[in-house]
Amino acid sequence: MSEIKHNAHTEGTDAVFELHKTVVLVGMMGAGKTAVGRALAARLGVPFLDSDAEIESAANMTIPEIFERDGEPFFRAKESQVIGRLLDAEKGILSTGGGAFLSELNRQMITERGVSVWLRADLKVLWNRVKHKDTRPLLRTADPYATLRALYEARVPVYAQAGLTVESDGETSIENMVDRVVNAMLTRPDVLERK
Ligand SMILES: Nc1ncnc2c1ncn2[C@@H]1O[C@H](COP(=O)(O)OP(=O)(O)O)[C@@H](O)[C@H]1O
Ligand SMILES: O=C(O)C1=C[C@@H](OP(=O)(O)O)[C@@H](O)[C@H](O)C1
Ligand SMILES: [Mg+2]
């Protein structure tokens, strides 16, 4: 019996990485912070944290429920607390919500205690990824595309302050995004090294 192993997916898994700092993914809704962050953590064998998921489980409510019941300022205060706490936890990958990097306090905490990576994507790509979902309260407006565009225009200059930028186009799979982020991280020996 012949046994053919298809190793394309596991190629390179014997490379061992050493993560020196928590990597904080920032960028717009739909950039892939949650999906790419989870896959990146699995690739590196480090913990995965998502500030939105932490807020939801601590409150035992969904993000839309929190926005509706307590308002955005309450959510933003929780978000800062959670980010501060997660930056003190074990080094890993921390995916934030799209608004998190807009806060100067959050940017300061992230820059001092981790490294920020902006997943940059065009407005069209973002829209295609978020338009079918009703989980983002900021897009519950009469014209969600216009709302996303206004947020995009206001936020891009702030995301551009991130330590590293990785392009997320419409054709690149999540696993290929992980390759790109790992390569970007490897340009910074203070962030990630191959052992
Ligand atoms: N590179 C990608 N290729 C294909 N689908 C993607 C990619 N990045 C994100 N997605 C999908 O787009 C949607 C939004 O991604 P998500 O990780 O929730 O973004 P964010 O956390 O930045 O808002 C999800 O359904 C996710 O699976
Ligand atoms: O852009 C924003 O301000 C928000 C993005 C969401 O996270 P994702 O970017 O993961 O969708 C979530 O934190 C909340 O709905 C607010
Ligand atoms: Mg997310």
Domain map (residue ranges) of the chain: 18-185
- According to the model, what pLDDT value does residue 5 have? 42
pLDDT at 7 over 50: no
Q: Binding site membership for substrate: which residues? A: 52, 76, 98, 155
Helix (H, G, I), strand (E, B) or coil at 28: coil
Question: CB burial class (10 A; 0-12, 13-18, 19+) of residue 27?
Answer: buried
What pLDDT, in 10s, does the model give residues 36-80? 999 999 999 999 999 999 999 999 999 999 999 999 999 999 999
User: What is the best residue among 136, 151, 156, 168 to mutate for testing ligand 2's pocket, by most ligand atoms within 8 Å of CB?
Assistant: 136
What pLDDT, in 10s, does the model give residues 83-99? 999 999 999 999 999 99
Name the residue with the closest Cα to ligand 1, atom 16.
32
- According to the model, what pLDDT value does residue 1 have? 43
Confirm whether the ipTM is greater than 0.90: yes
pLDDT at 131 over 70: yes
Yes or no: domain 18-185 corresponds to CATH 3.40.640.10: no
